């Protein structure tokens, strides 16, 4: 929550960028990608692969290079460098959402210009600033919450959204100087297996930065 407002001012397109980020995030969280700790397959659920396939096509259409989906469900792509002799950096986030609660039929609540009021989460729960004092940090911002009937899936659909949006902006603006950028979306992070088949050498980044929903909201 609040990360839409924190990200969009960094781009000169302002309101239009914010709306694009919001639309992308809401589209991603509507897709059920829960992992399963009891599964004997990898990835643990095929719906993660289906989401990766959708993202694969999206990255191709947006102009990313080297877009590849491995047989283990790892989706990678490249933003080519615009300057030489700069280390390659990588950004990573995960495709799956936690198996702890319902992850299907997600209906996010979007609260524009939050003013500190209580937020009802279904019929029996309330998100209240009196109980969660950190909410006061987001006065005037846009909050996105679960409806109370499911997980929101912000961890880590927020990270996927931020990576794709920021990298697509760089692809649209080659005048911005940067080295080669690699991105990766991994399966099964929520059940502790996200790194099990991650090929560090093949990924080829000298620095790797994980993006998580908690960081975006901090």
Question: Catalytic residue positions?
Answer: 96, 189
Q: For residue 136, how many other CB atoms are within 10 A of its CB?
A: 11
Distance between CA atoms of 14 and 114, rounded to whole angstroms?
A: 19
- A 10 A CB-CB count for 139 gives 12
Residue 110 CA to residue 147 CA, distance in Å, equals 10
Cα gap 187→86, rounded to integer Å:
29
Whether the CB-CB separation of 150 and 121 falls below 8 Å is answered with no
């Amino acid at each position: 929550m609040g990360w839409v407002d924190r990200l969009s001012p960094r781009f000169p397109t302002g309101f239009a960028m914010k709306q694009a980020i919001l639309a992308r995030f809401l589209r991603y969280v509507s897709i059920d990608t829960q992992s399963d700790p009891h599964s004997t397959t990898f990835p643990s659920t095929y719906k993660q692969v289906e989401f990766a396939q959708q993202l694969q096509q999206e990255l191709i259409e947006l102009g990313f290079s080297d877009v590849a989906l491995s047989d283990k469900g790892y989706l990678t792509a490249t933003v080519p460098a615009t300057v030489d002799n700069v280390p390659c950096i990588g950004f990573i986030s995960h495709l799956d959402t936690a198996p702890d609660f319902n992850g299907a039929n997600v209906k996010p609540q979007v609260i524009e210009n939050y003013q500190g009021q209580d937020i009802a989460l279904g019929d029996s729960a309330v998100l209240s600033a009196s109980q969660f004092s950190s909410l006061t940090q987001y006065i005037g911002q846009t909050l996105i919450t679960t409806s109370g009937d499911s997980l929101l899936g912000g961890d880590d659909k927020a990270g996927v959204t931020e990576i794709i949006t920021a990298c697509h902006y760089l692809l649209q603006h080659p005048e911005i100087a940067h080295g080669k950028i690699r991105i990766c979306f991994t399966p099964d992070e929520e059940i502790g297996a996200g790194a099990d088949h991650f090929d560090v050498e093949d990924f080829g980044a000298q620095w790797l930065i994980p993006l998580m929903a908690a960081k975006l909201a901090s």
